[in-house]
Amino acid sequence: NAGVTQTPKFQVLKTGQSMTLQCAQDMNHEYMSWYRQDPGMGLRLIHYSVGAGITDQGEVPNGYNVSRSTTEDFPLRLLSAAPSQTSVYFCASTQEPSLETQYFGPGTRLLVL
């Protein structure tokens, strides 16, 4: 099993550009989530999904869109990148309704100029 995979590993964008961060898992997990990690701020939830076709907002959803057409994939779209979105983005998944044992992907480091 590959676990949770994320692409790209690193990306540089200009302000106003859009892009999609890819996340996939091969563990048949229903719950998937996106976090951003900034220095001193911990992990902040952007969006999450409890199954295909079901998504909802987390703590910091503004400027991001998600969709979940399959169990395996959960892409995160930046609509119009801003310097404030410079961060490390982690995707995570779990099969547990209690949200325990979330498996995190390796992360995508995004720099917005």
Partner 1 sequence: QQPVQSPQAVILREGEDAVINCSSSKALYSVHWYRQKHGEAPVFLMILLKGGEQKGHEKISASFNEKKQQSSLYLTASQLSYSGTYFCGTQRYQGAQKLVFGQGTRLTINP
CA distances from 36 to 28, 69, 70, 90, 96 (A): 23, 22, 22, 6, 22
By CB under 8 A, residue 101 contacts partner 1 = yes
Report the distance separating Cα 106 and Cα 108, nearest Å.
Answer: 7
Give me the least distance between CB of 68 and partner 1, in Å please.
13
By CB under 8 A, residue 74 contacts partner 1 = no
Report the distance separating Cα 60 and Cα 46, nearest Å.
Answer: 5
By CB under 8 A, residue 64 contacts partner 1 = no
Report the distance separating Cα 50 and Cα 32, nearest Å.
Answer: 7
One of 102, 108, 110, 112 touching partner 1 (CB under 8 A):
102
By CB under 8 A, residue 26 contacts partner 1 = no
Q: Are 88 and 110 in contact (CB under 8 A)?
A: yes
By CB under 8 A, residue 56 contacts partner 1 = yes
Q: Which stretch binds partner 1 (CB under 8 A): 17-25, 51-59, 60-68, 71-79?
A: 51-59
By CB under 8 A, residue 100 contacts partner 1 = yes
